Amino acid sequence: MVRHLFVLLLLTALGTLFFALQAGFSPDSELNQVGRYYASHTAQDLGAANIVTAIIVTYRGLDTLGEVTVLFLASTIIGMVLSKGMQKGGKVSDLPPAGELLSTGSRLLVPLILLLGCYVFINGHLTPGGGFQGGAILASAALMLLLADPLRPFNSRFIAVVESTSGLLYVVIGVLGIFVAGGFLDNRILPLGSYGTIFSAGAIPIIYTLIGLKVGAEFSSMLLKLSKTEER
Amino acid sequence: MADIAMATGFILILIGIFGALTNRNMLRMIVGFVIASTGVNLVMVAVGYMRGRTAPILDDAVPVADAVTRIIDPLPQALVLTAIVIGLGVTALMLAFTYRLFVTKGTLDISKFRELKW
């Protein structure tokens, strides 16, 4: 009970703090200096219609590379932590069947979900969306397959190849930027194209496609590892 | 609108911390952390919102010329996108570690793990 009292005290203090923050908050009436720079320069400098994408892939591209690295590390550590519990395969399953609705529905929906994921990350520089969202959608297709048949054999070697190839190409494109354009991960190694079309914004669609494939492969392999782990 | 979103975010943070601190079951604690991080993301997006403006995506409706006066701050949104992805990685890690702890002790009760307690 004493512990709950401390928790309540802490929450009251935090709540007071939050209330003061909220009461004293007045939204900006115009963009701050950094925001104004991005708003006015993104279109002619980088050619991307989605300013958030331009910030993530180019202006703060190094941070995104770090973010992808963090995800890679998380997926690797999950593999390491769970590796002892991995099933060796070939075990006869005594799971009940998934049911007609789920197994037929997954056959119908998985290609469409994969298509939607690819659409989301290829159009990341024009519409809301991008590599991380598209990758998550790709992984949801893998999740659906796993739900329909938890013991389905996945080609995890293919997933690993996709992941490492796209990660490597991402860094290669970044290094190309040093030699061909203004710096590491500069998107102007390719012509900017006509503004607002799919072949625009230089290397941003390519980088975001690579990020999407990598994130999708990482999330899928995380799901696979979590699903294949079983206590014996 | 932004006020409601921000208040919701703060309340979610409080609910999440309450859940993580009072529950002894590790899975429930993870749910608490996820709720709290959702609240943090919501607050950050609400801070970047400006009344009467639109999303930072330039198209026919928002021409390049008056982008500065028509769009909201894109930086919090980029930050939250990063935060969501990292949050997902952290959640997956927590789940994996919880599984290993469950295998070693056969329980999910955090008060049974006393090795690092002083």
The answer to whether the beta carbons of residues A57 and A208 sit under 8 Å apart is yes
pLDDT value at residue A232: 47
pLDDT by position in tens, chain A (length 232): 777 888 899 999 999 998 888 888 887 777 788 888 888 887 777 777 888 888 888 888 888 888 889 988 888 888 888 876 665 555 555 677 778 888 888 889 999 999 999 998 888 888 888 888 899 899 999 888 888 887 777 777 888 888 889 889 888 888 888 887 777 877 777 777 777 777 777 788 888 889 999 989 988 888 888 887 765 4
Q: What pLDDT was estimated at residue B16?
A: 93
Q: Where are the domains of chain A?
A: 34-83+100-228
Spans of all domains in chain B: 2-49+72-112
Q: Do residues B70 and B79 touch, judged by C-beta distance below 8 A?
A: no
Amino acid at A71: L
Range 128-157 of A in CB contact (< 8 A) with B = 128, 130, 132, 136
- pLDDT on residue A221: 87
Question: What is the per-residue pLDDT for A115?
Answer: 93
B2-49+72-112 CATH: 1.10.287.3510
Residues of A in contact with B27 (CB under 8 A): none
CA pseudo-torsion sign A172, A174, A178, A181: positive
Within 32-91 of B, beta carbons closer than 8 Å to A belong to: 47, 49-51, 55-59, 64, 67-69, 71, 73-75, 77-78, 81-82, 84-86, 88-90
Name the amino acid, one letter, at B40: V
CB A130, CB A121: distance < 8 Å: yes
Q: Are B94 and B78 in contact (CB under 8 A)?
A: no
